[in-house]
Amino acid sequence: MGVFPIPLLKERYAFMDEMKFPNKFVKTIYQANKILGKVESTISIILLWALIVVCMIFISCRFIFHYSTPWADELARYLLIILAWFGGSYAASVGDHLEIDIVSTVLKKHAKSADKILSVIDRIGQVIVLGVMVFFSYYFIVYMLKVNKMGVVSNTMGFKMVIPMALVLCGCFLIILHTIFNILLPREYWYGADKPAASTEDEEA
């Protein structure tokens, strides 16, 4: 299966590729979300392997060859941070972020219109996430511009610190984009939803 469970995810979400969509707008948003998710998963795999290799170099040099590699320690930290953001954006694309389902469980047992209520709650949650991410992105960009103006560079590798910061910002923008997609799409059409949407009429030509 490999170090990253892509085959498992493909099997889990295979039914999504056979869904019917109510209109072209929903289908376009769904496909864009899906394509971005695949790109993010690929980048995450590359970053994960790079992180493993760098950590192996750091450990081997330190404990076997008794040679210090400070650049490996710093690079590993950057890779881990960037991986967290791209992994977070991928999780947003498939709806796999951690969530507390006590509200949905109670509503489904006691409320006849549970799906409609949960849909409203989902939208409110997504709007809150969007607001937080936009707020964070704005101040992160302001901070990046200051760092770039000061000419801050990496302690051991010499490249400008704005480079890894820009990659973090890319992950942040991707999360914002997926959040917008999730606001526009009904939950049953989120890529990676727990169950397929009910069949609808064939999309218009």
Full-model pTM: 0.77
Residue 27 lies in a domain: yes
Q: Which residue spans within 42-151 are E strands per DSSP? A: none
**Higher-confidence residue: 130 or 4?**
130
Residue 147 lies in a domain: yes
**Coil vs helix vs strand at 153:** strand
- Say if residue 24's pLDDT is above 60: yes
Residue 16 lies in a domain: no
Residue 137 lies in a domain: yes
Counting the structural domains of the chain, the total is 1
C-alpha 205/C-alpha 194 separation (Å) is 28
- Say if residue 9's pLDDT is above 60: no
Residue 38 lies in a domain: yes
pLDDT value of position 17: 57
